[in-house]
Structure 1
Amino acid sequence: MSFSFKEILSATLILFAVIDVMGSIPLIISLRKKVGHIQSEKASIVAAAIMILFLFVGEQILKYFGVDINSFAVAGALVLLILALEMVLGITIIKDEEPKSASIVPLAFPLIAGAGVMTTIVSIRAEFAAENIVVAIILNSILVYAVLKSAAWLERILGEGGLNILRKVFGVILLAIAVKLFSENAKMLFTMA
């Protein structure tokens, strides 16, 4: 075990930027309105477990199914694209029969522990020690939990008008992230073929 404060800080900041939980607040509030309740603890724990599991066996799992990291990222980008279109256009594309909770899908995966995060984890695995990345994942999961828990409070503070503006703005940002993730990884798919 070689814990390094510098590596933990670097990995935490990188994952924080990629997870972008602050930018996901309008989507979290939308999901909460759609399903009624989000289990913050469950979403945070499942997302952390997915990230830690992917840290150690992600590439092997994808290889077992014959999927490369770029294909995985493209699939995640398409899911984010649909979520972003729902936010920007104010329509419902993904329809669940009587959804009880959005805690695991789409919140824990792909919103929090999505393809971008998975790709980042695989990338930083080569740079940082695994134990430092695990600490960074746990720190980010605590922050995600805090944001999820305060969603109702944020909804009251912002009001309906503020939420609509935030939803549209962050929908466009999420759309841009999805397009960037798609284009970068689709390009890699075509150059490998």
Structure 2
Amino acid sequence: MKLDIREIGTASMILFAVIDIIGSIPIVIDLKKKAGHIQSEKASIVAGILMVMFLFVGAEILKLIGIDVNSFAVAGSFILFFLALEMILGITLYKDETPETSAVVPLAFPLIAGAGTMTTLLSLRSEYETVNIIVAIVINIIFVYLVLKSSGKIERFLGKQGINVIRKIFGVILLAIAVKLFATNIQNLFK
């Protein structure tokens, strides 16, 4: 168990692309308008706890239902692939009902710690040291908190076009991650 700056950096960038909090700013702003207040601290802490818990017990839960990590990672690569397509093409393949409040449920889960994030955590665990993934989670949660706290300022600064450009760039990164995840884990399935 050793800290590796390269692993922390890579895991942080992967989680940053999957969580896509910058791309979620329009959703956050919409929630803020409807509810009048965003619970930034609570949402960030709950999302962080969910992510760390899934990092440790996610594989055991999968074993309990008879699914190996490689199969889950291949399935997750499809989720990441479609998330990336949504980001790049500006389409919506999956639409959840708009939440009524800005409580923890719509923000912490599924917006921050959703299915894509959980899948990514298990995939990262098969490639990186757990301590480096935890540091990457903490870095991302701090960033998520800062973005939630200053979502209005960020929207005014970047504008709609700026947010769209950032979303498309991270969509391409996410697409590449999905392809790598699929290739690595599909090979492990047939060994």
TM-score bracket relative to the smaller structure:
0.7 to 0.9
> What corresponds to 1:94 in structure 2?
94
Q: Deviations over 1:124-180 (max 9, x none)?
A: 45xx6x6x8656644542233223333332221111222222222222222222222
> Identity of aligned pairs, percent?
46
Structure 2 residue 82 is the aligned partner of structure 1 residue 82: yes
The secondary structure found in structure 2 opposite 1:114 is: helix
- Alpha-carbon distance between aligned partners in 2 of 1:29 and 1:173, rounded to the nearest angstrom: 19
Structure 2 residue 119 is the aligned partner of structure 1 residue 115: yes
Cα distance, 1:10 vs structure 2 = 6.8
- Alpha-carbon distance between aligned partners in 2 of 1:135 and 1:170, rounded to the nearest angstrom: 21
- For structure 2, the residue ranges without an aligned partner over 5 or more in a row are 33-37
| Match among 11, 17, 24 for residue 20 of structure 2 | 24
Cα distance, 1:63 vs structure 2 = 0.7
Calculate the TM-score normalised by the size of structure 2. 0.73
> What corresponds to 2:177 in structure 1?
177
- Taking structure 1 as reference, are residues 137 and 176 closer, same or farther at Cα in structure 2, changes over 3 Å only? closer
Counterpart residue identity of residue 117, structure 1 = L
Structure 2 residue 149 is the aligned partner of structure 1 residue 149: yes
Calculate the TM-score normalised by the size of structure 1. 0.72
Cα distance, 1:81 vs structure 2 = 2.1
- Alpha-carbon distance between aligned partners in 2 of 1:86 and 1:109, rounded to the nearest angstrom: 15
The secondary structure found in structure 2 opposite 1:177 is: helix
Superposition CA RMSD, Å: 3.2
